[in-house]
A and B are shown apart, each in its own frame.
Chain A
Amino acid sequence: MNAVVESGVIRQHLIDPEICIRCNTCEATCPVGAITHDDRNYVVRAEVCNSCMACISPCPTGSIDNWRTVPVVRAYSIEEQLGWDELPAELSADELAAEGVTDLAPEAPPAPATAPVEAGTEPAFSSAQVGATLPPWSAAHAYTNLYGPKAAEKSLTATVVGNVRVTEVGKDYDTHHIVLDFGAMPFPVLEGQSIGVLPPGTDDKGRPHHARQYSIASPRNGERPGYNNVSLTIKRVLEDHQGRPVRGVASNYMCDLQVGDKVQVIGPFGTSFLMPNHPRSSIVMICTGTGSAPMRAMTEWRRRLRQSGKFEGGKLMLFFGARTKEELPYFGPLTNLPKDFIDINLAFSRTPDAPKRYVQDLMRERAADLGPLLKEAYFYVCGLKAMEEGVVLALRDIAQQAGLHWDDTAAALKREGRLHLETY
């Protein structure tokens, strides 16, 4: 049967009857006999298909590569599928909830693959020298500090409406996708902005914990479009940057929250790490680990715009690093985005028997495509501090290969609000 995502939910494999040409290749290829047909449609038996993907590449049309999340008890029968003229829409969260499905696993990223910092023959690297402090000219206006020590309201109470572990249990990394709802209270956000969480209690000196900042992983109109909520990607911190055991206060607090719990938040924060909104503007996103959160937000916003059919997007390129494939919960959903929508490059630094690959290696491989983008695209870097320098050096090499003068290019990137670095 199709892969069970959560108990009672499957990703059901379906064939798009509008695109399929009934060539029978899939049926002939399927090793388990899950595909059958009548005079009208080719269909997949949900209870037989084991998602082995053998049928995907032989399909001449691409109609084979369609998937719907459905409760296992409501999987589309072959009789239903045989009657279709087009694929049904994805079930909405409400429809799934009506079937008792509430905790769909959404996307969120885990552990980083960071490049080692190159020992300095160059003058000491400073991100402030290259990173822009101004947003792109077409950025939307960002509200900031609506809640905080200096605002009228010191904090806002948000309600947890979702908390899902998105890395496999048993892996070293425990990353959660958490959705916070603000009810009737204003908390307008843009992609790239962040939010502060106030963990309850006091530190070992008896002072209240200071706020911890998290990038927002959802687009401006909500994790669910039209709802006053945001999603966060939070990795449970169990060791510090040097590998010493330490229990992160806020991340552990957040990861342990139950649906319905209340959380005190402040913000929003951020006025420059914002996406361009003009037609045909291109975005290059470079990230590791949970640094993917703002990239998810921007990608999802562009995806929604594209779906609306009313916006002409530019190129989207993503360079995403993790230690291994297994640590990439975004992996599945990411690769399902069409190639003409987003150009995805994944680097794994710890795949056994494979050489280490970092995001900057991937960037150098794609120099031919990145070179021209240096002149007009908007670059976003998010992840561990250590990646900054490697990424900027890669950009420098790419610029030089493309025959661009790096100092001028870097100055333009900064001046025009086209290179944004957010690292921790």
Chain B
Amino acid sequence: MSAINYSEKIPNNVNLAEDRTLQRALEQWQPNFISWWDDMGPDGSTDYDVYLRTAVSVDPQGWASFGHVKMRDYRWGIFLNPGDANREIHFGDHKGEKAWTDVPGEHRANLRRIIVTQGDTEPASVEQQRHLGLTAPSMYDLRNLFQINVEEGRHLWAMVYLLHKHFGRDGREEAEALLDRRSGDENNPRILGAFNEATPDWLSFFMFTYFTDRDGKFQLCALAESAFDPLARTTKFMLTEEAHHMFVGESGVSRVIQRTCAAMNELKTDDVGKLRAAGVIDLPTIQRYLNFHYSVTIDLFGADQSSNAATFYSSGLKGRFEEGKRTDDHVLKGQTYKVLEVQNGQLVEKEVPMLNALNEVLRDDYIKDSVAGVERWNKVIEKAGIPLRLKVPHKAFHRNIGALAGVKVSPEGRPVSEAEWKEKVAQWLPTDDDRAFVASLMGRVVEPGKFANWIAPPVMGINRQPVDFEYVRFN
């Protein structure tokens, strides 16, 4: 695979120099991107030198090169995993045919929609997180936030490359629109609901990177199976970077829990008031945050029955998670899958054609994966000798998309009346009071090696550097 040519304006491993039209289009888009970064990137960070990981090539040795750089000068570029000229489509109606290196006319609109939807989430999360740097619990965490931000930026580049390269004028217009929409903007919001929610505090940020970036992982995994080879290769490389984002979320929540458990043992109490007075986040509040982020995120997988999902699969645009490792016929015609719906006030399972239920299939794979991490959080609590356990809520809890939208169900999966919901929602979802309390803890701690009181230090630093390394130089 080719190394990235840094003498070019846009680092890439796709021989950009040989495609002058594309190169010029991207060179026009680049200043707009930088201007978007200046407007909507991390607040007040212009002069910081940040210890960032930059991809210098896509092989294992080259994609993680560490050094202090200004984020504005981060080498956003275009990297595809190496291709396999003989790759075959391995699912859907085109199974066994050669993978596409260009977009077939009949799938053009759908592919564009998939790529734009994916691409839209990348700048959206940067926008959602742009003020978090002002309340970082440590220099280590600040650096992790910035790493995520620049990599979301690079993922936007990856999608914009596909739009410019394969979708002509439409693609260029979509690429511009990706820079025009704004998270939470009433008139021109981001496409998906969860990406218009604010990320007001670091507990939300960790929950977001654990749950919502994991949605990103599953979407990317499904796209990495695509018959459209450039999309598959782009998303494969993005997955390597995405792993860091989930690491930040999982270890972040884990460290919050660790600190809380330590305080519970020091003070020998599980009294919420006393723990809050001691400046740590009580486990019931963490559970409510978990309930919120989990339920909002599983909505992102879309309606449980969707003819679009069936079309995307059959036409080879989007596979299932780990499609290549599954042992069925990879066509799925005539097969069924169970989805939930409410009949006469009860949740019941209903068999539907599997092809129409592929959103639900991906959601269920996601649920399995995210539950495993929650169990690892529970290990921290268990080690501290505290009996409480965290739990993901029922799939039907607090849903706003699909057959379960608006249905009132408790976290245990019991349908409840409107009255009971109103009475108990404060135990189930973060209240204004919870959010105000968490917000009250958010002071900025950025001396090397120092950590805010509500979070434990990590087990190890980044790139085997010490925890008290100067990850960010403020200049």
Please state if B60 and A57 are interface contacts (CB–CB under 8 Å): yes
A-B contact pairs, 27 of them (CB 8 A): A18-B376, A18-B379, A19-B459, A19-B460, A21-B246, A21-B247, A21-B250, A22-B373, A23-B217, A23-B242, A23-B246, A24-B243, A25-B243, A40-B372, A56-B60, A57-B61, A57-B63, A58-B60, A60-B244, A62-B460, A85-B379, A338-B466, A339-B461, A339-B465, A339-B466, A340-B460, A340-B464
A58 to chain B, nearest CB (A): 5
The answer for the CA separation of A84 and B61 in the assembled complex, in Å, is: 29
The answer for the CA separation of A24 and B461 in the assembled complex, in Å, is: 21
Which residues does B use to contact A, with CB under 8 Å? 60-61, 63-64, 217, 236, 239-240, 242-244, 246-247, 250-251, 368-369, 372-373, 376, 379, 459-461, 464-469
Please state if B368 and A39 are interface contacts (CB–CB under 8 Å): yes
- How many chain A residues touch B (CB < 8 A): the figure is 25
Q: Is A28 an interface residue (CB 8 A)?
A: yes
Say which residue of A21, A22, A23, A57 sits within 8 Å of B64 (CB atoms): A57
Say which residue of B239, B240, B373, B467 sits within 8 Å of A340 (CB atoms): B467
Contacts known (A21-B251, A39-B368); A58 close to B243, Cβ less than 8 A? yes
The answer for the CA separation of A129 and B461 in the assembled complex, in Å, is: 41
A27 to chain B, nearest CB (A): 10
Please state if A22 and B372 are interface contacts (CB–CB under 8 Å): yes
Say which residue of A23, A29, A61, A338 sits within 8 Å of B60 (CB atoms): A29
Please state if B64 and A58 are interface contacts (CB–CB under 8 Å): yes
| Residues in A whose Cβ lies below 8 Å from that of B250 | 21
Q: Is A140 an interface residue (CB 8 A)?
A: no
The answer for the CA separation of A62 and B247 in the assembled complex, in Å, is: 11
Please state if A28 and B464 are interface contacts (CB–CB under 8 Å): no
Contacts known (A29-B240, A60-B244, A60-B247); A22 close to B369, Cβ less than 8 A? yes
Find the A residue at minimum CB distance from B248.
A60
| Residues in A whose Cβ lies below 8 Å from that of B64 | 57-58
Contacts known (A25-B240, A29-B240); A340 close to B466, Cβ less than 8 A? yes
Say which residue of B63, B373, B460, B464 sits within 8 Å of A21 (CB atoms): B373
- The 10 A-B pairs at the shortest CB distance, nearest first, are namely A340-B466, A23-B243, A54-B60, A60-B247, A60-B244, A25-B243, A57-B64, A339-B464, A21-B250, A60-B243
Please state if A338 and B244 are interface contacts (CB–CB under 8 Å): no
B114 to chain A, nearest CB (A): 21
The answer for the CA separation of A25 and B238 in the assembled complex, in Å, is: 11
The answer for the CA separation of A339 and B469 in the assembled complex, in Å, is: 10
Find the A residue at minimum CB distance from B379.
A85
The answer for the CA separation of A339 and B246 in the assembled complex, in Å, is: 24
Q: Is A55 an interface residue (CB 8 A)?
A: yes
| Residues in B whose Cβ lies below 8 Å from that of A57 | 60-61, 63-64
| Residues in B whose Cβ lies below 8 Å from that of A59 | 243
| Residues in B whose Cβ lies below 8 Å from that of A338 | 460, 464, 466
Most buried by A among B61, B243, B246, B468: B243
Find the A residue at minimum CB distance from B242.
A23
Please state if B461 and A340 are interface contacts (CB–CB under 8 Å): yes
Please state if B60 and A55 are interface contacts (CB–CB under 8 Å): yes
A44-62 at interface with B (beta carbon < 8 Å): 53-62
Please state if B251 and A61 are interface contacts (CB–CB under 8 Å): yes
The answer for the CA separation of A55 and B61 in the assembled complex, in Å, is: 9
The answer for the CA separation of A62 and B244 in the assembled complex, in Å, is: 11
The answer for the CA separation of A328 and B368 in the assembled complex, in Å, is: 47
Contacts known (A29-B60, A57-B61); A23 close to B466, Cβ less than 8 A? no
Please state if B465 and A61 are interface contacts (CB–CB under 8 Å): no
The answer for the CA separation of A57 and B244 in the assembled complex, in Å, is: 12
| Residues in B whose Cβ lies below 8 Å from that of A24 | 239, 243
| Residues in A whose Cβ lies below 8 Å from that of B236 | 28
Find the B residue at minimum CB distance from A20.
B376
| Residues in A whose Cβ lies below 8 Å from that of B244 | 60
The answer for the CA separation of A21 and B379 in the assembled complex, in Å, is: 13
Bitwise, A1-38 to B at CB < 8 A (1) or not (0) is 00000000000000000110111110011000000000
Please state if B246 and A28 are interface contacts (CB–CB under 8 Å): no
The answer for the CA separation of A39 and B217 in the assembled complex, in Å, is: 17
Find the B residue at minimum CB distance from A39.
B372
Find the A residue at minimum CB distance from B467.
A340
